[in-house]
Amino acid sequence: MVLLHPLSDFINPNTTVNNSSPTYNYQGYCPQTGELLQLPRTPLAEAIAHSLMAQLAQDELYSREGKMYGILLIKLPNGEQKILKAFSGLLNGCSDVEGWVPAIPGREEVRLDEVRTLAELETIKQELITLKQIPERQEYEKLEQEFVARLQQMSQNHSDRKQQRHQKRHILTETLVGEALNTAIAELEKESRQDGIARKLLKRERNQVLQPLKQIIEDADVQIRELKRKRKELSCQLQAQMHAAYSLMNFYGRSQTLQQLLPQGLPTGTGDCCAPKLLHYAATHNLKPLAMAEFWWGESSKDKIQGNFYDACVERCQPLMGFLLSGLQSTSTANTALAAEKHKTTLSTINYQLSTPNYFPIQEELSIVYEDEWLIAVNKPSGLLSVPGRYSHNQDSVLSRLRNLFPDEVNLQAVHRLDMDTSGILVLARDSQAHSLLNQQFQQRQIHKVYEAVLAGCIYIDKGVIELPLWGDPKNRPYQQVNWQYGKQCITNFRVISTAGHCTHVEFIPITGRTHQLRVHAAHPKGLGVPILGDRLYGDCQTTDRLHLHARELCLQHPYIEDKKLHLQTNTPF
């Protein structure tokens, strides 16, 4: 089966491709050396991918289902360049298709278990559908609505009769006396009791009719919960089997299973994406990767558009990049030096230091901005999490450090979050009541926040308001995108502080507080159209020592001291 495709299958030899800087870098830290390893998505890789898109468009087979596709430009030991191509998951139910990189070894080992489990899951799915559609549900809803209507009509009738009795009672007290009055009043009270009895009888009838149906529905719901539990258990079991069987190789020639790489667990589908397939195949066949590109093709989904390029998915691929690229000589050091020399000139007036990024845990001590017996505010450095992450290598954080510093304060909690790469003021509460009161201020937008940022380019407006709704892509967390249909309202005020070279120093005042709000509002074409310096997630490809975004000021009401307004400030470190 031919897997190495000549460049001429995708690019005309006479075609000139812009040899500009990469549009994105697949990257991760080598577990052995700690070196940042990068594999670029270059204009040439994108041109090859566009050619592949044109080929896919000619065959209806590839348009039946939307999925990710990828290409890898590689160099053979003899110096010749070739192309590998891959698809994510299965293509029309097949894992191995002629001309495409095969699935990562290990899938065949669990093939029978996978087929059996998928069959069980399909059976469970059909049982769930049946239980959700039992006729008793529709019958119960219909009868319940009928009884509600009858009770409402009865209540209206009784209300009218009560009003009539009230009027009669008034007339009787004016026209009758003695025993005649008592007899007439007793008759009215008897009518009232009869109305009450009629209401009770109708409710009893309702319960007698609906209770058997309700019991059948509750029994079905118990079965549904049990089936969902079993479905989750089967899915997790199959996922664990796959992760234990899938074996990846890096460019040192070392192999590890997905389970060994991340024993804490990975989302379903990890190992089936294009990037791991391509890099594993290249490593096992002594092929040197030069560039890679992944794109979506087929029916567009709410978060993926046909023909668009996408970065390594945060939950499935990114955690594997450091291992997969290990042993591959990184070009990051040379690129970093070149970028640093280039930008030192343009940014010398504002003294920005450009160097190789460092995402290893920050070792400097936390600077406490404010402290009393109820709360603590710290100046969080860039590169440190606000709270511990999901996996063991993401436990270093502001919260974990403060809990180590104050071991007796078991109720210490972060009131809000700052992105890992954002620096600035972070507030933590020392008891649950203070946390609740402060959290209410954030939710009710009573907190005044001021950020400073440096944009990686020039803008031509001095101040204004950005209103773009943001929606989090559940398959590519924590990436946020502007989405007018599903997005939540986001508002940011901004003003330009200064400009220097090709950069713009701005002040942001967010009115709402969504994830990555300032970063997207800066980078999006309908926002400022220029990403924040160092924000590779949203489009800045320059090599800098950090994300240039800092939470400079925070104004809030003290949770316990009514007349105390806290105005917390820090110096911007860039």
Catalytic residues: 419
Per DSSP, what are the bridge partners of residue 288?
75
Q: Which residues of 275-294 are buried (b: 16+ CB within 10 A; e: fewer)?
A: bbbbbbbbbbeebbbbbbbb
If you count them, how many residues does the chain have? Answer: 574
Query: What would the two tokens of residue 4 be?
Result: 């190495």
| DSSP code per residue over 409-478 | -TT-EESS---TT-EEEEEEESSHHHHHHHHHHHHTT--EEEEEEEESS--S-SEEEEE--EEE-TTSTT
C-beta atoms surrounding 499 within 10 Å = 15
Extended strands (E) in 147-268: 247-249, 255-257
CA distances from 67 to 87, 293, 307, 365 (A): 7, 14, 11, 46
Place of tokens 């790489």: 261
Query: In sequence order, what are the residues at sequence separation of 6 or more whose Cβ sits closer than 8 angstroms to the Cβ of residue 328?
Result: 37, 39, 250, 251, 288, 289
Among candidates 392, 320, 328, which has minimal Cα distance to 361?
Answer: 392
Q: Provide the phi-psi class of 559: left if phi over 0, else alpha when psi is between -120 and 50, else beta.
A: alpha
User: What's the half-sphere exposure (Cβ side, CA atoms, 13 Å) at 364?
Assistant: 10
Do 60 and 75 form a contact (C-beta atoms < 8 A)?
A: no
